[in-house]
Amino acid sequence: MPERGTRTVFVGGEVFDGSRAAPVAADVVIEGGRIVAVGAGLDGDVAVDATGRAILPGLMDCHVHVMVDSVDLMAHLQRPFSYAFYLAIGHLAAMLDCGITTVRDAGGADLGVKQAVEDGLIEGPRMKTAISILGQTGGHTDGWQPSGIDASLFPPHPGRPDPIVDGPDEMRRKVRELVRAGADVIKICTSGGVVSPRDDPRHAHFGADELGVCVAEASAAGISVMAHAQGAAGIKNAIRAGIRSIEHGIYLDDEAIDMMLDAGTFLVPTLSAPQAVIDAAAAGAALPDVVVAKAHEVVTVHRESFAKAVAAGVRIAMGTDSGVGRHGDNLTELALMTGAGMKPDEVLVAATRTAAELLGVDRELGTIEPGKRADLVLVDGDPFDVAALKSNISAVYKDGRRVR
């Protein structure tokens, strides 16, 4: 790694700056972990030959779960509690291999995981964390089973508050507990889900009073709210409450799309997730029949809803729900997005600039321009060949340091 203060220049590459502009021939100079210049004929102390390569901003995945590696219930029940922390080390490394230098963990990772990355104890993308996923009794994060066993994927511990909440007063306390625990974002389930066997993704969860308190308390702490929202009614309730992003958005209708456009709400589609459940079941994962049936029911309508949102101009930020699917396969989401109507350049913007806007880090990340953090991905060949993007990545830099 170059010494601090060393000017490193990437020479001869084609720069995709995070806007929809076509890549242009330019050199990029970094120093002290920052981009200091972009242009022609630049020099530095150390040169990196980028001839024949595209230079992209570091990619972002706005919806991951680094503490899990599958939805196989039996596998989770057989593992010791602390095992998940060791799994996370490999998961974070696998995402760096994809050129992903920033993630938002949408439930599971606590402050210790994030701090371990920040301190350099483990290697991985920088993290924003939700810690616990708030759900109502009988909702998406309620692990109660008919046997009486609680099979929650993310059992509570001192750094991860219990996620079940009912009523405005409990909501106020729970959001405050999450803020105390170090959450960067509050995640709440405004509908049922696919992998939870005791609810229906089309049904709305939480009342307006509960959602209002959630958003107010988060706002008072200077953070935003993301909503697991799959059914149309739950999506609309989230938008009315002022929630910043809709996660999944499976059953979007025209009214919900219009509301998102009016409010400026982001959509994080996670098209990979239902297919990952289907693939896991086919591979023998221990999943309730009802979960597999729901995955089959939603996979097509999910893509159709996403296509409508894209056509209407909804702001899209890339997210995969990795953990449901395999960490390291994150970039398969890009091909699914193009298959459902997004152009390749739009997909790369969704994974860079728009993702940074959603996460509130766009002053530091998401584009290649002077002053930004030096998160760069070097790609052999055509960067718009998103289906081959992972295999074409030749180097990944985070804060100016080559990490892959």
The CATH number given to whatever domain includes residue 67 is 3.20.20.140
Q: Is 44 exposed, middle or buried (0-12, 13-18, 19+ CB in 10 A)?
A: buried
Query: For residue 394, what is the domain's CATH number?
Result: 2.30.40.10
Residues 32 and 64 in one domain: no
Predicted pLDDT at 3? 52
Question: In which domain, by residue range, is 290 found?
Answer: 59-359
In a domain, 281, yes or no: yes
Residues 13 and 123 in one domain: no
The phi and psi torsions of 179 (rounded to 5 degrees) equal: -60, -45
Determine which helix (DSSP H) or strand (DSSP E) holds 311, and give its type and residue range. helix 289-312
Q: Could you count the other beta carbons within 10 Å of the beta carbon of residue 146? A: 7
Residues 126 and 180 in one domain: yes
Residues 269 and 393 in one domain: no
In a domain, 3, yes or no: no
In a domain, 252, yes or no: yes
- Closest residue by Cα to residue 175 from 144, 202, 206: 206
End-to-end CA, the chain: 12
Residues 128 and 37 in one domain: no
Predicted pLDDT at 1? 47
In a domain, 1, yes or no: no
Query: Residues 149, 121: contact at Cβ < 8 Å?
Result: no
In a domain, 118, yes or no: yes
Structure tokens at 98: 């994809």
Mean pLDDT (10-residue bins), the chain, 404 residues: 75 92 93 96 93 97 96 86 96 98 98 98 98 96 85 91 98 98 98 86 95 98 98 97 98 97 98 91 86 89 96 98 95 96 96 98 97 97 94 97 94
Residues 33 and 149 in one domain: no
pTM, whole model, 2 decimals?
Answer: 0.94
Side chain identity at residue 270, one-letter code? T
Residues 39 and 68 in one domain: no
Residues 40 and 137 in one domain: no
Predicted pLDDT at 287? 81
Structure tokens at 39: 């242009």
In a domain, 126, yes or no: yes
| Number of domains making up the chain | 2
Residues 87 and 14 in one domain: no
Query: Residues 58, 398: contact at Cβ < 8 Å?
Result: yes
Residues 238 and 143 in one domain: yes
In a domain, 205, yes or no: yes
Which residues touch 362 (CB under 8 Å, ≥6 apart)?
353, 356
Residues 343 and 289 in one domain: yes
The CA distances from residue 296 to 195, 252, 305, in Å, are 12, 17, 15
The CA distances from residue 266 to 15, 350, 359, in Å, are 26, 10, 10
Per-residue pLDDT reduced to its tens digit, 59-91? 999 999 999 998 888 888 889 999 999 999 999
Q: Is 357 exposed, middle or buried (0-12, 13-18, 19+ CB in 10 A)?
A: middle
Residues 120 and 30 in one domain: no
In a domain, 2, yes or no: no
Query: Residues 130, 185: contact at Cβ < 8 Å?
Result: yes
Predicted pLDDT at 4? 59
Tell me the pLDDT of the chain averaged across its residues: 94
